[in-house]
């Protein structure tokens, strides 16, 4: 369990975060951190928008831009936002198709959080006039 006192990224300077995570290589799920779900009673629904997501097309090397939307119902864990930001930065110079980026984000968050439900949507800007908005979803059985 990670208590909020043990979070590595939160409150660090930019220099300390560079040491924690070099965003130029690849998305690293080990940078993701969590804290205990504060909702003791009832269901907490979390909506997160990452408005400046970038990755690279694996064929052309051209940049792809998107808004990533994450909706989830936590079980016992909530994702720490600064660690999510550092994780997402790992896609900046990483070549992967839109569908694979969204799937990777969803699977990494499920492994970390073990949520009741999670949906990740990638709202990518159009390429060749065609927008792709892949959605990946998970629901605990």
What's the pLDDT at 128?
A: 83
Give the end-to-end CA distance of the chain in Å, rounded to a whole number: 23
Provide the residue range defining the domain that includes 58: 4-139
Least Cα distance to 71 among 105, 104, 34 occurs for 105
Q: Which positions ≥6 away from 95 have C-beta within 8 Å? A: 55, 56, 57, 58, 61
How many domains does the chain divide into? 1
CATH code at position 44: 3.30.1130.10
What's the pLDDT at 1?
A: 46
Burial 31-61 (b: 16+ CB within 10 A, else e): bbbbbebeeeeeeeebeeebeebebbeeeee
* Tens of pLDDT, residue by residue, the chain (141 residues): 445 566 666 666 556 555 555 545 789 999 999 999 999 777 899 999 999 999 999 999 999 999 999 999 999 999 999 999 999 999 999 999 999 999 999 999 999 999 999 999 999 999 889 999 999 999 998
3-state DSSP: the chain helix, strand, coil percent, rounded to 5? 25, 30, 40
Give the three-class secondary structure for 135. strand
From CA 119, how far away is CA 96, in angstroms rounded?
A: 19
* Whether 139 contacts 90, CB under 8 Å: no
Among all residues, which ones are annotated catalytic?
A: 57, 64
Give the three-class secondary structure for 117. strand
């Amino acid at each position: 369990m990670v208590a909020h006192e043990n979070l590595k990224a939160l409150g660090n300077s930019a220099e300390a975060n560079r040491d924690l995570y070099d965003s130029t290589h690849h998305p690293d799920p080990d940078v993701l951190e969590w804290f205990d779900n504060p909702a003791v009673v009832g269901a907490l629904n979390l909506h997160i928008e990452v408005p400046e997501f970038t990755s690279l097309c694996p064929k052309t090397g051209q940049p792809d831009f998107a808004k990533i939307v994450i909706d989830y119902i936590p079980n016992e864990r909530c994702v720490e936002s600064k660690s999510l930001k550092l994780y997402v930065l790992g896609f900046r110079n990483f070549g992967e198709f839109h569908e694979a980026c969204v799937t990777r984000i969803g699977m990494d968050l499920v492994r970390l959080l073990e949520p009741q439900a999670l949906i990740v949507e990638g709202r990518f800007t159009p390429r060749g006039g065609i927008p792709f908005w892949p959605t990946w979803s998970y629901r605990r059985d």
